[in-house]
């Protein structure tokens, strides 16, 4: 008989990176995590969770800062248990770059594929098809921006094939920024482990993408819908306005909506008992 482990279809695991200190949002983030701040009518963390849950991802690791770990546990610890979605937590004591999420999530990823999403990224588009159909290599999502120097930027050739990725380029490369959703096979863990920190002392997710690009295993999907990165008071307010106007929070997966509703009802019951 052949080795079953070699022939089984790999699952897609999820990782939401929700650590960091978010100093640009002080004093709001002096008492809570950025990803627990509200974007319109629900906490920011629910938007990346929705991206994963819509794609059928049921095993999700949330990476959190130690000082806010209890708050995440209180909110998400058992919210999805009865809905077949398993959420676990890993503490990131000191942020050392986005790619560290892959080494912190090594046991979680195991022999499977992974969809890594940044906890402060909100997407209008539904990427369920790409996540469900992913089989191997790497797959990232790029959007045209007005300030490419702030991001990892991808350059295409005339056939729209990705040729180069540069982190925060000082000279113009292209207007297409790589956004905070990354699909990888499990070789990403070893790639991240072998990477040297950049000049700013971080293991860069751009270097992971470069490694896949070098092997000709990186797919890049362009999209036009809203991509919101709520990292400043201004962008947090703007994100809330866009989410309200475009109804992004009204387009959640029914399971997520139901879990939030049940959680709210449970909170109300607990509050009434305290008042008795």
Q: Which domains does the chain have, with CATH numbers?
A: 9-138+179-275 (3.90.550.10)
pLDDT at 242 over 80: yes
Confidence of residue 118 (pLDDT cuts 50, 70, 90): very high
Confidence of residue 276 (pLDDT cuts 50, 70, 90): low
Mean pLDDT of the chain: 93
pLDDT at 205 over 50: yes
Confidence of residue 3 (pLDDT cuts 50, 70, 90): very low
| pLDDT at 264 (0 to 100) | 92
HEC profile of the chain: CCCHHHHCCCCEEEEEEECCCCHHHCCHHHCCCHHHCEECCEECCHHHHHHHHHCCCCEEEEEECHHHHHHHHHHHCCCCHHHCCEEEEEECCCCCCCCHHHHHCHHHHCCCEEEEEECCEEECCCCHHHHHHCCCCEEEEEEECCCHHHCEEEEECCCCCEEEEEECCCCCCCCEEEEEEEEECCHHHHHHHCCCCCCCCCCCHHHHHHHHHHCCCEEEEECCCCEEECCCHHHHHHHHHHHHHHCHHHCCCHHHHHHHHHHHHHHHHHHHHHHC
User: pLDDT (tens digit, 9 = 90+) per residue, 246-260?
Assistant: 999 999 999 999 999
> How large is the average pLDDT for residues 18-43?
92
| pLDDT at 5 (0 to 100) | 44
pLDDT at 197 over 50: yes
| pLDDT at 4 (0 to 100) | 42
| pLDDT at 8 (0 to 100) | 60
């Amino acid at each position: 008989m052949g080795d079953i482990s070699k022939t089984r279809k790999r699952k897609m695991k999820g990782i939401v990176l929700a650590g960091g200190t978010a100093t640009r949002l002080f004093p709001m983030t002096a008492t809570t995590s950025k990803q627990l701040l509200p974007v319109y009518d629900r906490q920011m963390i629910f938007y990346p969770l929705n991206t994963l849950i819509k794609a059928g991802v049921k095993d999700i690791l949330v990476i959190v800062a130690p000082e806010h770990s209890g708050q995440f546990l209180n909110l998400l610890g058992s919210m999805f248990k009865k809905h077949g979605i398993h959420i676990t937590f890993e503490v990131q004591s000191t942020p050392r770059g986005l790619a560290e999420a892959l080494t912190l999530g090594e046991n979680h990823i195991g022999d499977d594929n992974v969809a890594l999403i940044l906890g402060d990224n909100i997407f209008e588009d539904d990427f369920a098809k790409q996540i469900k159909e992913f089989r191997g290599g790497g797959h990232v999502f790029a959007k045209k921006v007005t300030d490419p120097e702030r991001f990892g930027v991808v350059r295409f050739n005339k056939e729209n094939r990705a040729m180069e990725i540069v982190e925060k380029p000082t000279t113009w490369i292209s207007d297409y920024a790589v956004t905070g959703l990354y699909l990888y096979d499990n070789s990403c863990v070893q790639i991240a482990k072998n990477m040297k920190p950049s000049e700013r002392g971080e293991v860069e997710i751009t270097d992971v993408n470069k490694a896949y690009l070098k092997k000709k295993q990186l797919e890049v999907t362009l999209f036009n819908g809203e991509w919101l990165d709520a990292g400043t008071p201004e962008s947090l307010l703007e994100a809330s306005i866009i989410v309200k106007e475009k109804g992004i929070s009204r387009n959640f997966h029914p399971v997520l909506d139901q879990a939030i509703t049940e959680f709210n009802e449970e909170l109300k019951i607990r509050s009434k008992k305290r008042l008795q």
